[in-house]
Amino acid sequence: MKRINTLALGVCLGVATMLSGCTDDTKAAPEVEEVVRKTESTTESTPDAPATSEPEETSEPAIRLQSAGESESIGEVESYDLSLFFADQVPMIAPEHITGNRIVYTELIEESSSQINVYDTGRNTNDLIHTSSKTIGNLVGIQDEVFWVEYAQAEGYAYEWSIFTMSLDEQKPEQIAEGTSRFETPVPYVTASDDTVTWVDYEASASDTKTTVMQFSPMSDSIQTIEAFTLQEEGKRDGEYIFDYRSGEEGLILHKSVFNEGDLTSRLVTTDGSFDEEGGALIDFERGSKFVSLGKEGRVEFISATPSNVKYVYNGSQKNITFDAFRYLRDDYILFREGMNRLLIADLREETVSYLPNDGGTVSKPVFKDGKLAYAELDGEGLVRFYVIDVK
């Protein structure tokens, strides 16, 4: 029986994820434009299940965010040219963690060989700290400790994976979890808050698929199960399956496929029960303390995480442009990416969207840690530049 789609790796693993996201992106127009639509709908389809469409809005009309042109300074900006470290190469790299002067990133060397590097902005050095013969799926960090996933193909179209942790000072990798993804289930990817690392373990058999939310605490050096779901695969599908997930300072938010005797609905829910809505087709999503951000094809929605039913909408410059990489700089001041060429800021208090200046290259998904925003800009001809902004 064909299962819910897998590698993509289900959630877009690999170094290129930092740049491309989960879909092919359309180049953003050079200026922000508003397109007002009276009716907006989108559909989602899943293998072996009927497509579902978003319900018609029954609450108050959405507030349309207006263009504010180029953003005023959001903080002191520093740029670092790494091009000399990659002579005769066109690397696909981006900051994945930042702590102090150190920017950590992964690099795919060959089809199944990866490494972890640290660029020191103070000393202008680029050091290799770990090499693997396997593929590194993604990397996150908590202060001076990093966490990442490595995987390799096994027999029967399965993938064996491991999750590692390592201190940037000691540089001694330690495995904290392992498993095997079978029956087209994806390899886990790791997400991080200030004090925990989260992933979803997919355990599949011919009859069912179990998805379990796992969380590791570096402080206690322990792993605990947060939630578990089971999808019955035999006959008509029945049960729940975690399709995608995010974790941050405000807790976990899950994008679930819910089957009832073969009928599919998609829901976006927080594990604390504060938010539960039909998900529809999503490019990306993120949870803040006041709003949930939804990236859809052609538009962005910011929905109140409280019962006030406030919704803000920003329509892109093109109907098929994608939006992703939401970073809450403040509760109602949210950075996100349009296509692969521009970073935007939604100011929900002012009801505006502005854009950060760039040189026209490909812009990576940014990371935001301890008040510092870091991202990469690549021009396709070997130019590699990291930007760091101390957000005001």
pLDDT tens for each residue of 146-156: 999 999 999 88
Q: What mean pLDDT is reported for the chain?
A: 85
Q: Which residue, 360, 359, 314, 364, is CA-closest to 337?
A: 364
Give CA separation, 157 vs 22, 138, 204, 260, in Å.
21, 21, 13, 28
165-188: b (≥16 Cβ within 10 Å) or e: bbebeeeebeebbebbbbbbbbbb
d(CA 339, CA 363): 9
CA distances from 343 to 85, 92, 138, 152, 357 (A): 26, 18, 21, 33, 8
Q: Mean of the pLDDT values across residues 276-284?
A: 91
| pLDDT score of 257 more than 50 | yes
Q: Which residue has the higher pLDDT, 166 or 306?
A: 166
Q: Does residue 19 sit in helix, strand or coil?
A: helix
Classify residue 160 by its DSSP letter: E
Nearest of 231, 244, 194, 192 to residue 215 by alpha carbon? 192
pLDDT digits 0-9 by tens, 344-363: 999 999 999 999 998 888 99
pLDDT at 55 over 60: no
pTM of the model: 0.86
Residue-wise pLDDT for 221-246, tens only, equals 999 999 999 999 999 999 999 999 99
Which band of pLDDT confidence, cut at 50, 70 and 90, is reported for residue 111? confident
pLDDT at 269 over 70: yes
**pLDDT at res. 13:** 39
Please name every residue paired with 76 in a beta bridge, in sequence order, or none if there are none: 390
Q: How far apart are the first and last CA of the chain?
A: 53
What is the per-residue pLDDT across 4-18, written as a single tens digit (0 to 9) for each?
444 333 333 343 444
Q: Using the 8-state DSSP alphabet, how is residue 185 labeled?
A: P
Alpha-carbon distance 337 to 294, whole Å? 12
Interstrand relation of 323-330 and 333-338 (parallel, antiparallel or unpaired): antiparallel
**Are 380 and 361 a contacting pair, CB within 8 Å?**
yes
